Structure 1
C-alpha cells in the first residue's frame, strides 16, 4: 500500500490492521547514541490507548510496545527501529452483519473502489487503530526534539459545540477530554454521555502549540513548514481542516491588523502562527484542526451494499463517541515527526 510512509530524512512507515495480529511502525533516520528508555515511549502510548474512561471506546488494548531493533544497551543505534504492538482485544465477528454494507462516513466504499478488496473488520488500515504506530514513532521524535529545546502540547479546544474559555495547561491531562478549561471539560463530558445515550457522536477542535522551534525551519515553495504540518494533520483519518495563527479569521482582517509588527524583542503579535513564507520565525507555532464526529454510530442510517441494494444499517460495537480526547496525542506525535524531519533536512542544508 503506497502512502504508508512519511518523511524525507526522519522517515516512518506504519503497518497493521485494526483487527489483525498487530500494528506497529518502522522508524529510520534516528540519531545514534541517544538514551531512550522504552518507558518513555510507553508513556505516550498510554495516553492514546483505548478504554481510558467513559468517554472513549471500551475496547481494551494495553498497547505494550515491543522494540525489536534499533536500540542497544539503552541507546539508539542509528539503524531502523521497529516497534510492534500486539492486538489483544479483537472482535471481528462484531462486523459480520455489515461486512457487505458501506457504513456512512467510513472509507468502506472508497477502499473497495481503490483496491477491489477491503478489510471490513473495523476498517482495517482506515481505522484509528493505525495511529498507534504514529504515536510510537512520535515519541522517538519527541525525545530527539527535547534535546533541541522543543516542546509540544495539544488539547481539546472545542467539543460538541462547547468551547474552552480559559487556558490552563496543567489541567489538560487531568480530565478525560483533555480540555484546557476544567469548567468546559465537565460540560463536554456531559455532552458526550448525552450523545452516547442516543447512539450519536460529536466532533470538535484540537489546538496545538509548539515552543522552542528556532527560526529558519522549513523548505520554501512546496515543502513549507506549515504545508508539511498540514499534510501530517490531514493524514489523520478524522481531521477535516486546519488553520494557523489567526487562521480563517484573517480573511476578515485588514493588512494593518493581520501583519505581525516587530520590535527589539521580536514579534509583537502572532497572527502568522509562528510561520512566515513557509519558514519558522521563532515565535510559538500555533494551529488548530477540525475533527469530524465519529462515523460509527448506532442510530439507523441509509446506505447501500456491495450488490448495489439500498438498506438501513446500525453500526454497533466499541467506538469513541468523540475522537478529540484520543486524537490529542496523535496530533502531538505527527507534529514531532514533521519537526524532527525538518530539523534534519535543515542540518543537511549546511553540510
Structure 2
C-alpha cells in the first residue's frame, strides 16, 4: 500500500491489519554488526501494548516479536530486517453490529472513499495497532542512537484537560498516564475513570525531549529536521498538531524575546526547540504534540450507514479511554527513526 513506508537511508515499511493474522515491519538501512536480540525490541513493545491498566484497551495481545531476517548470530547483517507480531486476541466479530455504519472521528469513511473497499474489523490499517511495527523498528533505531550518545524521552504533560505543573523525569514510568507530575497524574486518572463511566474518552498533550544531539543535523528547505519530525508525528492517526520550543506562544512574543541569544557556552535560551533553519543547534530538541480523544466510544453518536441513511451508533468493544500512555513509546520510536535516518544522511553527505 502506498504511504506505508517512511525514511530515506534508514527506511521502514509497516504491514498488517488490526484483526488480520499479524502486524510488523521491514527495516532497511540498519548498520551491520549491531548486537540485536528480540529482548531488545520486546521491552519497547511491552510499553506500547494494551491491558496495562484501566485506561488502555483490555485486548490481551502479547505482542511477542519474532526476528525473521537480517540478524545472524545476534548481530545485524546490514540486510533488511523483518519483524513480525502475530495477532493472538483478534475478535473481528465484535464489529459485526457496526460493519455497515461509519464511526464518527474514525477513518472508516475516508478509507472507503479512497479504496472503494472497507475493512470494518477495527478499521484495518487505520487502527492504532499498526503502530506496533513502528515501535519495533524504533527500538532498533534507539539502540543505534544510544551508541551516538543520543537519548529520547517522551511523556504526558496534559490529559483530560488537566496539566502537569512540575517536571520529574523519574516518575514517568511510575504512573498509568506516563505523566511527568505524580500529583497531576492522580487527577488525570480520576477524571478518566469518570469519563469511562460516561462511556467517553479524552485526549491531551505529549512532550518529547532529545538530548545529546549534535549541531548540524538536518537538511535544507524541504527535508528540514523539524519538518520531518512533524511528518513523523502527524502520520500517527491520533495526532492533530505539533509545536517546537516556544511553539504557538511565539506569536505573542517580540523578536528580542523569542531570539535565542548565545554566549561562549552555547545558547542561553531555547525558544527554537533545538532546531534553526531545519538544522539542529546542539541544544536540547523539544517538541509537543496534540493528541485527540479516542474516537471509538460506547456513547451513542449520530452517523450514517453505507446507504447514506442517518442512524445511531454505539461502538462497543475493547478500546482505550485515553491513548496518551500508549502513544508515548510510539512518539519516541518515530523520533528515533527520523534522527537515525538524518545521521546516516549526514554521514553520506560528508563522505
Q: TM-score, normalised by structure 1?
A: 1.00
- Aligned equivalents of 1:122, 1:270: Cα separation in 2: 41
Question: Is 1:157 the counterpart of 2:157 in the alignment?
Answer: yes
SS in 1 for 2:219: coil
Which residue of structure 1 aligns with residue 82 of structure 2? 82
Which residue of structure 2 aligns with residue 39 of structure 1? 39
Question: Is 1:293 the counterpart of 2:293 in the alignment?
Answer: yes
- Aligned equivalents of 1:244, 1:350: Cα separation in 2: 27
SS in 2 for 1:26: strand
The structural deviation recorded for 1:149 is 0.5
Which residue of structure 1 aligns with residue 166 of structure 2? 166
Which residue of structure 1 aligns with residue 179 of structure 2? 179
The alignment of Structure 1 onto Structure 2 pairs a total of residues equal to 351
Which residue of structure 2 aligns with residue 98 of structure 1? 98
SS in 1 for 2:42: helix
Deviations along 1:232-259, one digit per CA (max 9) or x if unpaired, are 0000010000000000000000000000
- Aligned equivalents of 2:17, 2:38: Cα separation in 1: 23
The structural deviation recorded for 1:72 is 0.7
Question: What does 1:10-159 correspond to in 2, within 5 Å?
Answer: 10-159=10-159
The structural deviation recorded for 1:168 is 0.6
**RMSD, aligned α-carbons:** 0.5
- The ranges of structure 1 where at least 4 consecutive aligned residues each deviate by more than 6 angstroms after the TM superposition are none
The structural deviation recorded for 1:177 is 0.6
Which residue of structure 1 aligns with residue 273 of structure 2? 273
- Aligned equivalents of 1:211, 1:69: Cα separation in 2: 32
Deviations along 1:9-64, one digit per CA (max 9) or x if unpaired, are 00000000000000000000000001112211100000001111111110000100
- Aligned equivalents of 2:163, 2:37: Cα separation in 1: 37
The structural deviation recorded for 1:328 is 0.2
Deviations along 1:61-89, one digit per CA (max 9) or x if unpaired, are 01000000011111111000000000011
- Aligned equivalents of 1:115, 1:134: Cα separation in 2: 23
Which residue of structure 1 aligns with residue 228 of structure 2? 228
Deviations along 1:262-298, one digit per CA (max 9) or x if unpaired, are 0010000000000000000000000000000000111
- Aligned equivalents of 2:194, 2:40: Cα separation in 1: 36
- Aligned equivalents of 1:186, 1:56: Cα separation in 2: 16
Question: Is 1:259 the counterpart of 2:259 in the alignment?
Answer: yes
The structural deviation recorded for 1:124 is 0.3
Deviations along 1:95-137, one digit per CA (max 9) or x if unpaired, are 0011011110000110000000010000100000000000000
Deviations along 1:303-326, one digit per CA (max 9) or x if unpaired, are 001111110111110000001110
SS in 2 for 1:14: strand
- Aligned equivalents of 1:300, 1:313: Cα separation in 2: 6
Which residue of structure 2 aligns with residue 303 of structure 1? 303
SS in 1 for 2:27: strand
